[in-house]
Chains A and B, each alone.
Chain A
Amino acid sequence: MTDNEVVLRLEDVVKTFPGVRALDGVQLEVRAGEVHCLLGQNGAGKSTLIKVLSGVHRPDEGRIEWLGGEFKPANPQAAMKAGIATIYQELDLVDDLSVAENAFLGHEPRRFGFVRRGYMSRHTRQILTRLGHGEIPPGRMVRSLPAAGKQVVSMARALSHDAKLIIMDEPSAVLAHDEVDNLFRIIRDLTSNGIAVIYISHRLEEIREIGDRVTVLKDGRTTAANLPARTTPTRDLVSRMTGRTIEYVFPEQSTQDRGEELLRVDGLGRAGEFADISLSVHSGEIVGIAGLVGSGRSELLETIFGARRAESGTVTVRGKTLRPGSVGAAVRAGLGMAPEERKSQALLLGEPIYRNVTLATFTGYARGGFTNAGKEIAEANRIADLLELRPRDVRRPVRTLSGGNQQKVVVGRWLLGDTKLLLLDEPTRGVDVGARAELYQVIRDLAARGVGVLLVSSEVPEVLGLADRVLVMREGRMVREAPAGELDEDTVLDLVMAGSLQAEEVTL
């Protein structure tokens, strides 16, 4: 691998925004045909680096060398033309255009001003076949594809530009477990054709599996370059990222007895989503739900919270049955939920942090209908201290925070008021290792205070490490319930995956 030529070299790249040095001397060296992993906490500068490479931002200082020449793209189109394609975490596809139209978006093959649809369609089919997904029809609307299929289209777009470097920003975040294997197969295929890949992920095991070399960023600086991806000890990687040596450390399991029953779910079901689910959560208990994307776990959580109307079954909180389909009733009964999609489901991005923190409770601080901004800011400050929010100024718009800190705002919202039962849907998605440990501690502290927690996560170690009791879901059904201590990762994965492999193959 190392004998391949260097295609991309960054030297001392600096990029400042008012008040922050987003990149403060980045070194990066990428060779043809390698998978180069970028590691770093949220806010370490990965996103800015991607944007510099894809032509969105221009660096203030430093030098970028691309295929032997200096690289100064005027705009994203120029970067694309030069052969650098970026696949963003939130895929930038047009849902109502076909696969082929998306693949050639912005550079449609034309003759006399008319799009050569036949040529475009054939060419797209070729690319898809090359990606191992010849079964996706080029004429299909992108809207109807599953997440994994959309990602393939995104890659087809990159290849339609004849990209020599593809940047993938957390590509596995939207994928189920077995779909990730598929993604890796595609990546291996690309690299064997000499295409370089910059791969960004928070999941160390993925980096071990697919990566060749690793560069670690911290606070906008390269803290380690070109480490071997497979052999560098985890401890080293984490310490380069955080300056600390923590791994997925879970706080001590609480030993206290579980208290009264807070939540009882009986025979809950919604057609096509999940059926006949029964569970209970006690005061001070953390219950984890493990399952693949599409197993109905998020839908279950939203139904318990009343955001979806239950078609059968009941939700009872402390002996009182909740009116189905009413979030208001759930909140009044002391339920709180941190939904899966932070930006679209939980945050007012343009509003200050404190107003986001108090979104569910500001009525409580109000007197006679008048809001009490002083009290709200004080309470938000308390939460910000508790969760070590960075930056600390609660008057800043939430938009300016990193993903992990935005997540803290969402969780923090329910630490105010008297939330008795917290529903957490993927609380650590897109959250870096350091912030994760903090969030774990917060969740444990809550439980120790007597709050019940119902937690959904795709990451099995997280469910096992955090929960007292684990429920395993598959295809809308509860397949196993056991104390966390009686299960291990392999058992859960077996339960979660059984029978799903073929099903996922068909949908893709």
Chain B
Amino acid sequence: MTTTQTAAPPAPEKPAEKRSWWRDDASEPLRRNLALVGVLILLVIIGIATRPDLYGDSTWVRNNIFTILELASVIGVVTVGMTFVIIGGGIDLSVGAIVALAGVWSTTVATQSYGAGGMIFCAVAVGIGVGVVNGILIAYGRLVAFIATLAMLVAARGLAAQISGKQTQVSTNTFINDIAAGDLLGIPLLVYILAAVVAAGWVLLNRTTFGRRTVAVGGNVEAARLAGINVKRHTLLLYALSGLCCGIAAIMLTSQANSAQAAMANLYELDAIAAAIIGGTLLSGGRGTIIGSLLGVIVFATITNLFAINNLSTEVQNMVKGGIIVAAVLVQQFRYKSLSQLFNRT
């Protein structure tokens, strides 16, 4: 648990003549992520303090970790897409609605007749399709992202309700239904999916030209444009990517519930944005990390779990979540400020 020590604010020592790696600008995301790890550890300590009986049981602890990760898996996949959109200087308020539309569309009787492959293809295609529409409106129609995706939020849920006739559509496909129930080597399959999406997202952001363009477009759109980057096409691709993530999430959520309905994935956009923000993604674009977003999602899932094991109501839980968002951002601002002040003063 050495991480608890490193997560603490750096000691107010006198800055050395040469900047240590710790104060290096490049390690700024690392400092933020360690702070989130610190929060996680704090939450676990609260869990141990409030329910020592449960934490005494190692099998329960193991299962509870998977419970938390499963809880984080669907929203985690959505958050990866959201992180790309925000780093690229945009916002996607329609993710929850896209998940619902993709879920409903892929569980109609007609789609289910094509089997699991047809359902998965449908969910992913619907997700990408809606994302592309978002992207066209924003990149080529020059709509503000906030407005365009807000309109899509309303419209996509409306379409989902239309398709489903406001009914819950039960999935009869055992392959789909078994995903959420299944495990491999004792680890739930949904956690593998989350891990795969996070890993793919990390590589995409940090090791590919797509990721580089995302940072450039979000960091300084004019500079990106004048360097010959096709900003419009890239913006479109970002929303398509977000839609793709929503399509994957729709299958996961359908599998968990063995059904889909127009009201599913309600307020996922807020959870995903909140997770990305407390994970250190700059809302104005140009900066953010996949790992930070993942940690943000896990922090929220752990809070939910903490309330569940203490049998507390979701109302209280939502109030605390709101408080955590404010606190996390305040703490990060404070840390950032105090660090830069340290640089300026001494």
Chain B residue at minimum C-beta to C-beta distance from A335 = B228
What is the chain A residue whose CB lies nearest that of B222? Answer: A345
Question: A331 within 8 Å of B by Cβ?
Answer: yes
The 0/1 profile, CB within 8 Å of A marked 1, for residues 334-346 of chain B is: 0000000001111
Give the docked Cα–Cα distance between A348 and B223 (Å).
Answer: 7
Q: Is A328 an interface residue (CB 8 A)?
A: yes
Supposing A19-B17, A370-B207 touch, asked if A351 and B226 sit within 8 A by C-beta, the answer is no
Q: How far is the CA of A366 from the CA of B17 in the complex (A)?
A: 37
Given contacts A58-B345, A350-B219, A362-B209, contact A328 B226 (CB under 8 A): no
Distance in Å: Cβ of A464 to nearest Cβ of chain B:
27
CA distance A396 to B24 in the complex (A): 9
Quick check: which of B44-52, B129-137, B210-218, B246-254 contacts chain A, the rest being far away?
B210-218
CB distance from B193 to the nearest CB of A (A): 23
What B residues does A57 contact at CB under 8 A? 344
Q: State whether B16 touches A359 (Cβ < 8 A).
A: no
In the assembled complex, A274 has its CB within 8 A of some CB on chain B: no
Q: Which of A395-421 contact B (CB under 8 A)?
A: 395-397, 400, 413
Determine whether B167 belongs to the interface, using a CB cutoff of 8 Å to chain A: no
Q: Is A337 part of the contact surface with B, judged by Cβ < 8 Å? A: yes
- With A350-B286, A371-B209 already in contact, the answer to whether A345 and B344 are too (CB < 8 A) is no
Complex Cα–Cα for A58 and B345 (A)? 7
Do B227 and A351 have beta carbons less than 8 Å apart? Answer: no
Q: How large is the interface on B (under 10, 10 to 19, 20 to 34, 35 or more residues)?
A: 20 to 34
Can you name the residue of chain A whose Cβ is closest to the Cβ of B282? A350
B284 to chain A, nearest CB (A): 11
Interface-central residue, B220, B226, B346, by most chain A CB under 10 Å: B226
Specify which chain A residues have a CB less than 8 angstroms from the CB of B219 in the assembled complex. 348-351
Q: In B193-248, which residues have CB < 8 Å from any A CB?
A: 207-212, 215-216, 219-220, 222-230
Residue A352 CB within 8 A of the other chain: yes
Quick one: which of A455-497 are within 8 Å of B by CB?
none
On whether the beta carbons of A369 and B220 are closer than 8 Å, the reply is no
Q: Is A383 an interface residue (CB 8 A)?
A: no
A376: min CB distance to chain B, Å: 9
By beta carbon, the residue of chain A nearest B345 is: A58
When C-beta atoms are compared, the residue in chain A nearest to B210 turns out to be A369
> Which residue of chain A is the closest to B217 with respect to CB atoms?
A348
Please provide the chain A residues from 184 to 241 with a CB less than 8 Å away from any CB of chain B in the complex.
Answer: none
Q: Find the residue from A18, A328, A347 having the highest chain B CB count within 10 A.
A: A18
Whether A307 sits at the interface, judged by CB under 8 Å, is: yes
Say whether chain B's binding surface is mostly helix, strand, loop, or mixed.
helix
Interface: A330 (CB within 8 A): yes
Closest to A376 in B: B212
Q: Is the CB of A17 within 8 A of B344?
A: yes
Return the contact of B207 from the options A60, A349, A371 (Cβ within 8 A): A371
Task: Pick from B18, B212, B224, B343: contact of A17, CB below 8 A.
Answer: B343
Question: Which of A19, A58, A60 is in CB contact (< 8 Å) with B19?
Answer: A19
- Of B19, B223, B230, the residue contacting A345 (CB under 8 A) is B223
For the complex, give the distance between the alpha carbons of A60 and B345 in Å. 8
Contact between A362 and B212 (Cβ–Cβ < 8 Å)?
yes
Inter-subunit contact A347/B226 (CB<8 Å): no
Which residues between 154 and 207 of chain B lie within 8 Å of chain A, taking CB atoms?
207
Encoded as 1 (CB less than 8 Å from any B CB) or 0, chain A from 328 to 344 comes to 10111000010100001
Rounded to whole Å, the gap between the CB of A30 and the closest CB of chain B is: 25
- Chain B proximity of A13: nearest CB distance (Å): 15
CB-CB under 8 A from B344, the residues of chain A are 17, 57
Tell whether, in the assembled complex, residue A344 and residue B220 are in contact, meaning their CB atoms are under 8 Å apart.
yes
B287: min CB distance to chain A, Å: 6
- Among A60, A360, A363, A396, point to the contact of B209 (Cβ < 8 A): A363
Which of B16, B216, B228 touches A331 (beta carbons < 8 Å)?
B228
B53 at the interface (CB under 8 A from A): no
- A344 lies within 8 A of B26 (CB): no
CA distance A359 to B222 in the complex (A): 12
Smallest CB separation, A247 vs chain B (Å): 32
Partner of A355, one of B15, B208, B212, B230: B212
Q: How distant is the Cα of A250 from the Cα of B27 in the complex, in angstroms? A: 42
Is the C-beta of A327 less than 8 angstroms from some C-beta in chain B? yes
Which of B15, B220, B228 interacts with A18 by CB under 8 Å? B15
Rounded to whole Å, the gap between the CB of B316 and the closest CB of chain A is: 39
B227 in complex: contacting residue of A16, A344, A359, A400, CB < 8 Å: A359
**Contact: A339 with B209, CB < 8 Å?**
no
CA distance A372 to B19 in the complex (A): 27
Q: Is residue B321 within 8 Å, beta carbon to beta carbon, of the partner chain?
A: no
Chain A residues within an 8 Å CB radius of B216: 348, 351, 359
A90 to chain B, nearest CB (A): 16
Q: Per-position contact with A for B314-346: 1 when CB-CB < 8 Å, else 0? A: 000000000000000000000000000001111
The list of the 10 closest CB pairs from A to B, nearest first, reads: A331-B228, A360-B227, A18-B15, A348-B219, A359-B227, A366-B209, A345-B222, A369-B208, A346-B223, A363-B209
21 examples of A-B residue contacts, CB within 8 angstroms: A18-B16, A18-B17, A18-B343, A18-B346, A19-B17, A307-B226, A339-B226, A344-B220, A348-B215, A348-B219, A348-B220, A349-B219, A350-B25, A350-B219, A350-B287, A362-B212, A369-B208, A396-B25, A397-B25, A400-B25, A413-B227
